[in-house]
Amino acid sequence: MRALIMAGGLGTRFWPKSRREHPKQLLKILGEQSLILDTVERLKPIVTGEEIYIVAMDDQLGKIRKQLNGHAGINYLVEPKGKNTAPCIGLAAVVMQKDDPDAVMVVLPADHLIEDNDVFLKTLQTAEKVALETGKIVTIGIEPNYPATGYGYIQFDQQLAVADGMPLLHVKTFAEKPNVATAERFLSSGDFLWNSGMFVWKVKTILEEIEEHLPQVYDGLMEIRDALGRPEQDAVIRRVYSQIRSISIDYGVMEHAKEVTVLKGNFGWNDLGSWGEVYKLMDKDENRNVLVGSHLIRDAAGCLVDAPEKCVALVGVDDLVVVDTPDALLICRRDRVQEVRDVVDLAKRKKMDQIL
Amino acid sequence: MRALIMAGGLGTRFWPKSRREHPKQLLKILGEQSLILDTVERLKPIVTGEEIYIVAMDDQLGKIRKQLNGHAGINYLVEPKGKNTAPCIGLAAVVMQKDDPDAVMVVLPADHLIEDNDVFLKTLQTAEKVALETGKIVTIGIEPNYPATGYGYIQFDQQLAVADGMPLLHVKTFAEKPNVATAERFLSSGDFLWNSGMFVWKVKTILEEIEEHLPQVYDGLMEIRDALGRPEQDAVIRRVYSQIRSISIDYGVMEHAKEVTVLKGNFGWNDLGSWGEVYKLMDKDENRNVLVGSHLIRDAAGCLVDAPEKCVALVGVDDLVVVDTPDALLICRRDRVQEVRDVVDLAKRKKMDQIL
């Protein structure tokens, strides 16, 4: 098994802590170490450093390498430009194929939270076995326990097998992040799982799927494949990336592929999509506040205050997210944390580069 | 005319900008210079430096002197301890009496806002004339234009005279800061004025009133008077202050004095009692926000943001006061700004001395 860790995201919904130069996967959002380090260490019982491939942009990779410098052998792949997940996965696939033509590839985001690592690793190994035996695309679905609007969903129909005690199901459709009413319908229907964004497949399988559904992307990948290990490699990657289509693997491949399966995992998964998730996961005091730092609370409830360096006084306010950094401060209604990315867009338009 | 500027307050409702070491009167709350400097410069057309007496505690006076160092001749009087306004006024009265036994004394807070200085000075001069001619206590009342709950009120009955075009009225009662319903009743009754906390009287008059209504305070003041200019002066003041009653001039004298008059002034007065007053006085944008600094606003209205050093992003919040300083941040519902002083009390109880 070879693992691709996609570490090219920005995580703008974690602004003001996440910055262009210091994206979400480098942050210690919960716990003692960064999310990318968590992600790598989580895998180490079942893969070696040489079997891990981390893709990110050049300026991100420097910091990632530094955070992971205790881990030898890891393959770092530079994307000249963020082009969404399909080119990223394709790039890793051609590199892995060169290293091992029969490789099974696990695709993992760099910034998710997983509570039960043993079950997680067992799920990956089961998915590997299924991918190897069936040659199909295997996605990892999570049984939903509330009508989340921040996740995509996978609808399944018939059960194909039970693999190592886990249901393997046939995928009917992929669904976008729903509104609340739709999410409630999904939940009560019983045939929807959360889309964890984790995929397992043979390298051969995913390259065939890309060839069929994203031929322009495939042609670019073949150019890159032919240049791998040659002096012109980096120049070819740069040239291909300047023209390659920016598209997600979900849109570009998964929704069109005929035979997609989903393995139902249950390992305490959270994509840490926003400050709202952080509030949800952390211990609360008697007023449902989560306070990081030493603060003064007068009749305030349901607030997340992350300001370790500063005393924050709250008077008469409810359900706020307050995140302080030396040069920027966020004060956001807790039910509107998805809009933090719009604040970052606003800062971009206003050319406030120093806080991006 | 000799002017007492009472500069011993802390202005805790302006926390986190006001601190023990840097109280409200030293702040630039609105405009370009500190409130104490405004107060002194406002008077200079009608009094000399030698006719100005500033009372504060020792550690405050150092900073006040520094801010006023362009103004020569000012008399600085040290209070060993804050003992509310009656001892402060009494102390200044005995010192003024020594300088000029027939002096008329104007008592002014150090931290109010006055828009029309010409009218203000004319009002003081008229009050001086009345105090001199009648020997009565003259208070300055302000015609209320909304049912303020942050001010005390003065109820008047018959009109005694018109002095220089200003009504001089007989005071019936003083009223505490009212609740909204009471404030509305006061406003509609037409016989209530705001109590500006400014008083004008002959030094002789106020000392007689203190003798009658606060004999213990008076005895202490006489001890101080006898020691003025002698080597033991400071020791006597310290000893008297260690025992003198802490009481306001309003409670201790005004409410008991028989013949109190009020001169109705109209010079754009505001006591700048809280961040709410600052919000009210400043220019607002199209969303009724007052923004000091460069900030990111996404669907927020009615907010005051004072954070010149930091970018503040507001998402989906209304009617907040946000005041940022390097070590403390206030986030307070705008209709609860009076409770900022309770936050300061809370910080005291928690012994968070570094932010007091």
Mean of pLDDT values over A28-41: 92
Instruction: Give A310's contacts in chain B (Cβ within 8 Å).
Output: 326-329
Q: 3-class DSSP state for residue B65? A: helix
Compute the C-alpha angle B157/B163/B165, nearest 5°.
100
Burial class (CB in 10 A: 0-12, 13-18, 19+), A145: exposed
**What is the C-alpha to C-alpha distance for residues A295 and A298, in angstroms, rounded to an integer?**
10
Question: Is A129 a residue whose pLDDT tops 90?
Answer: yes
User: Would you tell me how many other CB atoms lie within 10 Å of the CB of residue A184?
Assistant: 14
**Whether B333 contacts chain A with CB within 8 A:** yes
**Whether B327 contacts chain A with CB within 8 A:** yes
Interface test with B, best of A12, A312, A329 (most B CBs within 10 A): A329
Report residue A10's pLDDT band, with 50, 70 and 90 as the boundaries. confident
Q: For residue A319, what is the nearest residue in chain B, using CA coordinates?
A: B317
**Whether A162 contacts chain B with CB within 8 A:** no
A182 phi, psi to nearest 5 deg: -65, -40
**What is the C-alpha to C-alpha distance for residues A83 and B354, in angstroms, rounded to an integer?**
49
pLDDT reported for residue A150? 87
The DSSP symbol for B147 reads -
Residue B314 to chain A, least CA–CA distance (Å): 5
Structure tokens at A54: 């981390």
Separation of CA A236 from chain center: 27
Parts of chain B with a pLDDT under 70: none
3-state helix, strand, coil in chain A (%, to 5): 40, 30, 35
Contact B202, B142 (CB under 8 A): no
**What is the C-alpha to C-alpha distance for residues A114 and A142, in angstroms, rounded to an integer?**
12
**What is the C-alpha to C-alpha distance for residues B14 and B340, in angstroms, rounded to an integer?**
7
Q: For residue A328, what is the nearest residue in chain B, using CA coordinates?
A: B311
| Amino acid in position A346 | L
Closest residue by Cα to residue B201 from B262, B244, B251 = B262
Separation of CA B109 from chain center: 3
Residue B28 to chain A, least CA–CA distance (Å): 22
Closest residue by Cα to residue B248 from B181, B195, B189 = B195
Instruction: Give B335's contacts in chain A (Cβ within 8 Å).
Output: 316
Closest residue by Cα to residue A316 from B337, B14, B333 = B333
A229: alpha, beta or left? (left if phi > 0; alpha if psi -120 to 50): left
Residue A317 to chain B, least CA–CA distance (Å): 6
Instruction: Give B314's contacts in chain A (Cβ within 8 Å).
Output: 331-332
Instruction: Give A352's contacts in chain B (Cβ within 8 Å).
Output: 294, 296, 311
Residue A68 to chain B, least CA–CA distance (Å): 32
Q: For residue A338, what is the nearest residue in chain B, using CA coordinates?
A: B315
B317 to A331: CB separation less than 8 angstroms, yes or no: yes
A315 to B332: CB separation less than 8 angstroms, yes or no: yes
**Whether B310 contacts chain A with CB within 8 A:** yes
Contact A309, A294 (CB under 8 A): no
**What is the C-alpha to C-alpha distance for residues A95 and A221, in angstroms, rounded to an integer?**
10
Tokens 């992929």 found at: A174
- How many angstroms separate the most distant Cα atoms in chain B? 65
Separation of CA B67 from chain center: 18
**What is the C-alpha to C-alpha distance for residues B274 and B153, in angstroms, rounded to an integer?**
18
**What is the C-alpha to C-alpha distance for residues A187 and A197, in angstroms, rounded to an integer?**
19
Q: Which residues pair with A265 in a beta bridge?
A: A142
Instruction: Give B327's contacts in chain A (Cβ within 8 Å).
Output: 310-311
Identify which of A312, A337, A347 has the shortest CB distance to residue B331. Answer: A312
| Residues making up chain B, counted from first to last | 356
- What are the residue ranges spanned by the domains of chain A? 2-273, 276-355
A315 to B307: CB separation less than 8 angstroms, yes or no: no
Instruction: Give B336's contacts in chain A (Cβ within 8 Å).
Output: 315-316
**What is the C-alpha to C-alpha distance for residues B65 and B61, in angstroms, rounded to an integer?**
6
Q: 3-class DSSP state for residue A168? A: strand
pLDDT reported for residue B59? 85
Contact A291, A305 (CB under 8 A): yes
Buried/exposed code over B2-39 (b: 16+ C-beta within 10 A; e: otherwise): bbbbbbbbbbbbbbbbbbbebbbbbbebeeeebbbbbb
Identify which of A333, A335, A346 has the shortest CB distance to residue B296. Answer: A346
Query: How many angstroms separate the Cα of B250 from the Cα of each of A151, B173, B210?
Result: 63, 11, 11
Interface test with B, best of A19, A331, A336 (most B CBs within 10 A): A331
The CATH T-level fold of domain B2-273 is Spore Coat Polysaccharide Biosynthesis Protein SpsA; Chain A (3.90.550)
**What is the C-alpha to C-alpha distance for residues A94 and B48, in angstroms, rounded to an integer?**
87
Residue B305 to chain A, least CA–CA distance (Å): 11
**Whether A294 contacts chain B with CB within 8 A:** yes
* Cβ-proximal residues to B230 (8 Å cutoff; 6+ apart), any chain: none
**pLDDT tens by residue, A43-85:** 999 999 999 999 999 889 999 999 999 899 999 999 999 999 9
Which value does ipTM take for this structure?
Answer: 0.89
| Amino acid in position A283 | D
Strands (E), B191-243: 192-202
List, in sequence order, the alpha helices (H) in chain B: 35-43, 58-67, 85-99, 117-134, 180-189, 203-213, 215-227, 233-243, 249, 275-281, 340-349
**pLDDT tens by residue, A177-208:** 999 999 999 999 999 999 999 999 999 999 99
Identify which of B316, B317, B328 has the shortest CB distance to residue A311. Answer: B328
Residue A13 to chain B, least CA–CA distance (Å): 12
| Amino acid in position B272 | L
B316 to A332: CB separation less than 8 angstroms, yes or no: yes
Q: How many C-alpha atoms does A131 have within 13 Å on its Cβ side? A: 28
Instruction: Give B352's contacts in chain A (Cβ within 8 Å).
Output: 294, 296, 311
**Whether A346 contacts chain B with CB within 8 A:** yes
Query: How many angstroms separate the Cα of A323 from the Cα of each of A29, A168, A316, B80?
Result: 12, 41, 18, 42
Structure tokens at B207: 């000392």
Structure tokens at A343: 């604040």
Instruction: Give B322's contacts in chain A (Cβ within 8 Å).
Output: 329, 331
Structure tokens at B275: 């961040």
User: Would you tell me how many other CB atoms lie within 10 Å of the CB of residue B179?
Assistant: 11
B311 to A342: CB separation less than 8 angstroms, yes or no: no
Structure tokens at B200: 């004008």
Instruction: Give A346's contacts in chain B (Cβ within 8 Å).
Output: 296, 298
**What is the C-alpha to C-alpha distance for residues A214 and A234, in angstroms, rounded to an integer?**
22
Closest residue by Cα to residue B354 from B24, B20, B23 = B20
Contact B74, B52 (CB under 8 A): yes
Contact B207, B151 (CB under 8 A): no
Tokens 């409130």 found at: B35
Identify which of A307, A343, A347 has the shortest CB distance to residue B315. Answer: A343
Antiparallel, parallel or unpaired: β B328-333 and B320-324: antiparallel
Residue B57 to chain A, least CA–CA distance (Å): 27
**What is the C-alpha to C-alpha distance for residues A104 and A200, in angstroms, rounded to an integer?**
7
How far apart are the two ends of chain B, measured CA to CA in Å? 37
Contact B8, B336 (CB under 8 A): no
pLDDT reported for residue A229? 94
What is the three-state SS of A17-62? CCECCECHHHCCCCCCCCHHHHHHHHHCCCCCHHHEEEEEEHHHHH
pLDDT reported for residue B30? 86
In DSSP notation, A93-156 reads HHHHHHH-TT-EEEEEESS-EES-HHHHHHHHHHHHHHHHHH--EEEEEE--SS--SSS-EEEE
B340 to A315: CB separation less than 8 angstroms, yes or no: yes
Host H or E run for residue A85:
helix A85-99
pLDDT reported for residue B44? 96
Instruction: Give B326's contacts in chain A (Cβ within 8 Å).
Output: 310
pLDDT reported for residue B70? 86
Interface test with B, best of A298, A311, A351 (most B CBs within 10 A): A311
**What is the C-alpha to C-alpha distance for residues A91 and A214, in angstroms, rounded to an integer?**
13
Question: Is A124 a residue whose pLDDT tops 90?
Answer: yes
